[in-house]
Amino acid sequence: MVTTDEKGPLTAKKKSVIIRSCDGDEFLVSESAAVLSTSLKKILEEKEDRLIHLSDIDNKTLAMVIAYLSTHADDGLSDDLKRSFDQEFVSGKEFDVLKYLVLATDTLQVTCLCYTVAKKMADIMKNKLVEWVRREFDIQNDYTPEAEAEIRRLDAWAWDDRQLEDD
């Protein structure tokens, strides 16, 4: 279980690890939770150091990932409870937040969470306009208007039956 020491700077007790976000905050995590991330597991196997610095994951995102890891490392919880935790975990989250999360789970190699977050993102994208996708993924449209119109014309049926959302 995760224990936090409110009084002073964090010190890693036996079987726990300190993870520092790119904002500088530190999180105390049990080793059993940390090793659910393939990347953290590798780091821990390679060096004795109990302090891991993640230079590209921010506070907010890291806190979410750690909450996920701790829940999944808890042997006292049934698989059903973990599954409903997963659903709860992604529900209502903004697409932007999910983007940071999916990136973090990719860096940390947490396969299950990566799947859950990617699935949630896909569910949100399903009824969105092409323009919305370009904005959210920061993609430049490199088609000429003619070329894009041609692709739309060839499979016009795919556009015909549903109201698409732009927000």
Partner 1 sequence: MSEYLPQEVVIQILTKLPPKTLIKFRCVSKTWNSLISSPYFISMHTQQTLLSDSGTNQIIVRRYSKDQNSEVYSVHLDKEDQFPDDKNIRIEYPFRDCIRFYYRIVGSCNGVFCLFDDLFGQADSILLWNPVIKRKVILPAPQASFENMEYYMFVLGFGFDVVNNDYKVVRMAYIQGDNGYIVPPEVEVYALSTKNWHKINGEVPNCVVEYFWSQVLINGNVNWVAYRNRGKEVKVENLIMLFDLTREVFDEMPLPDALENELPINLIGVNVKGSLGVVHYEDRIWSMSCCIWVMTKYGDVKSWSKLYYVDFEGGPGMILGFRTNGDVLLSADNLGLVSYDPVTGKSADLGVHGTKDSFYASNYMESLALLAEGKEARERLPSDSDGDSESESSMEVDIDPYGDVERSEFWMQCSMSQYLTALLKRSDS
CA atoms of 81 and 87, how far apart (whole Å): 10
Which lies closer to partner 1 via its Cβ, residue 14 or residue 162? Answer: 162
Are the C-beta atoms of residues 124 and 97 closer than 8 Å to each other?
Answer: no
CA atoms of 123 and 104, how far apart (whole Å): 20
CA atoms of 152 and 92, how far apart (whole Å): 32
Q: How far is the CB of 33 from partner 1 (least distance, A)?
A: 23
Interstrand relation of 16-20 and 26-30 (parallel, antiparallel or unpaired): antiparallel
Q: How far is the CB of 93 from partner 1 (least distance, A)?
A: 14
Which lies closer to partner 1 via its Cβ, residue 12 or residue 118? Answer: 118
The footprint of partner 1 (CB under 8 A) covers: 22, 56-58, 99-100, 102-103, 106, 114-115, 118-119, 121-123, 125-126, 130, 133-134, 137-143, 148, 151-152, 154-155, 157-159
Which lies closer to partner 1 via its Cβ, residue 13 or residue 134? Answer: 134
Closest by Cα among 148, 117, 146, 147 to 131: 148
Q: How far is the CB of 15 from partner 1 (least distance, A)?
A: 30
Which lies closer to partner 1 via its Cβ, residue 6 or residue 161? Answer: 161
CA atoms of 146 and 113, how far apart (whole Å): 40
Q: How far is the CB of 22 from partner 1 (least distance, A)?
A: 7
